[in-house]
Amino acid sequence: GAAAAPPPPRQYKLAPQSELRVEVLPDVPLRVRLVAGTAEIFGTELPPEGWVPIPPRSKIAIFTWHGATVELDGVSESEYTSDETPMVIYVNAHAILDARRAGARVAAVQGGDLEASQGPRVIVVGPTDSGKSTLCKMLLSWAAKLGWKPTYVDLDIGQGSITIPGCISATPIEKPIDIVDGIPLEMPLVYFYGHPNPSINADAYKVLMKELAKTLEKQFSGNAESRAAGMVINTMGWVEGLGYELLLNAIDTFKANVVLVLGQEKLWKMLKDAKPNIDVVKLHKSEGVVLRNSKYRQRTRSFRIKEYFYGIANDLAPHSNIVNFSDVSVYRIGGGHQAPRSALPIGAEPVADPTRLVAVNISTDMVHTVLAVSYAKEPDEIISSNVAGFIHVTDVDIQRKKLTYIAPCPGDLPSRLLIASSLTWYEA
């Protein structure tokens, strides 16, 4: 039969403290417009005029504090309103953080020590799909709206929001996060782990966290403004066993002084007992948070990689390039046993050195994988260096010893030292 006619634009009148929850389809555009009142999407206000395109596949809530009328145009996967939200609790948490920032700024002006002039370092924890990334966005956007420049730290290697998966990264947030463009990407500090799952090499994950924290600490010591604004740290949804251990590690490594626990009583209790000297606060999870199964998450990872090269709206054209094998050196972080069992004293077990760099031969196995371009000058600096960006291997010609890749920018690679990964993306 004939395709159904697209629905006409429709208006929703939202009561104070209610929200319109919308799921956008993967390939059908949807846009939203404020007709009356004020409303925000995850902490960023809708402009008073004009249509705002909502990126494909996103799941959003248009929330209003004081009441609003909004209009949707386009086909959505679902749309419904709700007046049950935890937003008042969230904004109260924001107010407490804000008071701490103000206190830190006063201390800095009065020449207080590093401790007193340090604003809140908030870490948001909870199981997958508890709304962690969303709460981080709100806290950052609300702070930025008041003129603070908090640092966003994303430790979620599975569904990170700063750059491609497999990375831990940080970036200053200087204005409310753009509804269309997302987190600003002018100057992110990115360390490459290379896998979407921390258990592959948990020790390397810890070392990279330590490196990122060290760099941020250095930046903060020379910048009272960002020090007072503090950090908002997003974490992985893995909260049991090794996942829990890594959370404790993250709290210590980044010297977090506020832990916000979303939607899990047990985790809150455990962290409270484990960290009696810092504030561990339990917050309600929003019923609006959309559950995503592992297949969906896998697909999202793939889209994030594609977006890096092609843009959110498929509006960028990546550049294809060819290098000789001899022009680059590819390394893998960790793995590989230090010594074969036969070379060890009797009874000793071979130990894998998790942060040892292993030179990798270029092979056709690398086709479709992502390689990171390191800022390191020497191979042994790779683990402690952040990365400039990523390339995607499109072909390996063993006979002619040539590797073909795409990169977001034209020209030579900024470095010849590359880091291998298990991240793949298949061009459709």
Q: Using CB under 6 A, pick the residue from 119, 120, 131, 334 that binds ligand ADP.
A: 131
160 binds ligand ADP (CB under 6 A): no
Using CB under 6 A, which of the segments 59-67, 139-147, 332-340, 377-385 binds ligand ADP? 59-67
Q: Helix, strand, coil proportions of the chain in percent (round to 5)?
A: 30, 30, 40
Binding string, 237-266, against ligand ADP, x = CB under 6 A?
Answer: x-----------------------------
Per-residue DSSP letter, 289: P
Q: Applying CB under 6 A, does 207 fall inside the site for ligand ADP?
A: no
Tokens of 32: 């939203």
**Cα atoms in the 13 Å half-sphere on the side-chain side of 414:** 14
**Residue 288 interacts with ligand ADP (CB under 6 A)?**
yes
DSSP 369: B
Q: Distance of alpha carbon 417 from its chain centroid, rounded?
A: 24
Between CA 423 and CA 109 the distance in angstroms is 46
134 binds ligand ADP (CB under 6 A): yes
- Return the closest-CA partner of residue 62 out of 23, 8, 93: 23
Q: Is position 64 an interface residue for ligand ADP (rule: CB under 6 A)?
A: no
- Asked if 18 is part of the footprint of ligand ADP (rule: CB under 6 A), the reply reads no
Please, what is the minimum distance in Å from the beta carbon of residue 19 to ligand ADP? 6
- Which CB atom, from 141 or from 286, has the smaller least distance to ligand ADP? 286
The nearest distance, CB 64 to ligand ADP, in angstroms, is 13
Supply angle C-alpha 167, 267, 287, rounded to 5. Answer: 80
Considering only 132, 195, 304, 306, the residue that binds ligand ADP (CB under 6 A) is 132
DSSP label at residue 353: -
Which one, 59 or 275, has the nearer CB to ligand ADP?
59
Residues in the chain: 428
Reduced to 3 states, what is the DSSP secondary structure of residue 392?
strand
Of the candidates 286, 374, 415, 421, which one interacts with ligand ADP according to CB under 6 A?
Answer: 286
Residues that bind ligand ADP (CB under 6 A): 19, 21, 59-61, 126, 128-134, 159, 237, 286, 288-290
